[in-house]
Amino acid sequence: MTTYRCFEYEHDDDLPSEYDEVRTPDALVEHFLQEHTEPGDRVIDVFAGFGTTLTVAERLERIPFGLEYEPDRVAYIRDRIETPDHVRQGSVLELEPSWFPACDCCFTSPPFMEWTDDRNPFRNYAGESTYADYLDDIETTFARLESVIAPGGTVVVDIANMKHEGRVTPLAWDVADRVANVFYFDGEVVIPWTGDGSPDDRAGTFGYGYDHSYCLVFTKPDE
């Protein structure tokens, strides 16, 4: 597995003006779907956001499935893809095996949290949480996801470490450690970003203090 890939930070389309969100660039999703899936494979994103994984999967002739907590984002995704009934609104912490067919790959980016935050990322930063609770929820998320990943399937997690007020939260490593309790950890791919679209005004790529992020690659063993 190549452990270093460089991409230009850009998106194929713009979000509606009422949103100001950081999104995974299309090229990153495209690279990993081409590497780990074939046309006709099922691809799922359990933090579907605004549907980047799903629209890229559809463009590459994969079959997209998605789960998203926010109803307005679900509606936005359903308007963008040819299989709107493949997108479900709900919490990944409550995911049931009956919600989706067996999928060959998951490409997803969970909500981020730094260690001093007391908001709940799994409720779109409403309500209260702790970093320890967040990591427990991460492990629960991927334990739930395991039920809809086919044997031999791949899980790719787009994540970054975070700098805040001079202290580093090793988010990528903490998430890797918890997801590895569920899936086999193949390793990380370092992703530096280039291009005029890179959000340097956000104090580093994605606003978290670094000019690179990671894709953590896991597999579900064959039965």
Question: What whole-number distance in Å separates Cα of residue 20 and Cα of residue 181?
Answer: 34
Residue 81 lies in a domain: yes
Q: What is the mean pLDDT of residues 46-51?
A: 95
Percent pLDDT > 70 in the chain is 87
- Number of domains within the chain: 1
Tens of pLDDT, residue by residue over 63-111, are 999 999 999 999 999 999 999 999 999 999 999 999 999 999 999 999 9
Residue 35 lies in a domain: yes
Instruction: Please report the pLDDT score of residue 203 as a whole number.
Output: 46
Residue 189 lies in a domain: yes
- Minimal CA–CA distance to 160: which of 222, 124, 206? 206
Residue 87 lies in a domain: yes
Tell me, what CATH number does 31's domain have? Answer: 3.40.50.150
Residue 2 lies in a domain: no
Residue 211 lies in a domain: yes
> Can you say how many angstroms the Cα of residue 207 is from the centroid of all Cα atoms in its chain?
16
Q: For residue 8, list its beta bridge partners.
A: 194
- Minimal CA–CA distance to 143: which of 63, 218, 214, 85? 218
- Minimal CA–CA distance to 16: which of 77, 84, 68? 77
Instruction: Please report the pLDDT score of residue 1 as a whole number.
Output: 75
Residue 60 lies in a domain: yes
Q: By residue range, what is the domain housing residue 16?
A: 7-220
Instruction: Please report the pLDDT score of residue 202 as a whole number.
Output: 45
Residue 1 lies in a domain: no
Percentages helix, strand, coil for the chain, rounded to the nearest 5?
30, 25, 40
Angle at 20 between CA 213 and CA 195, to 5 degrees: 45
Q: What is the mean pLDDT of residues 134-163?
A: 97
Average pLDDT, the chain: 90
Tens of pLDDT, residue by residue over 110-125, are 999 999 999 999 998 9
User: Which CA distances in Å does 89 have to 15, 34, 47, 56, 210?
Assistant: 19, 27, 10, 20, 32
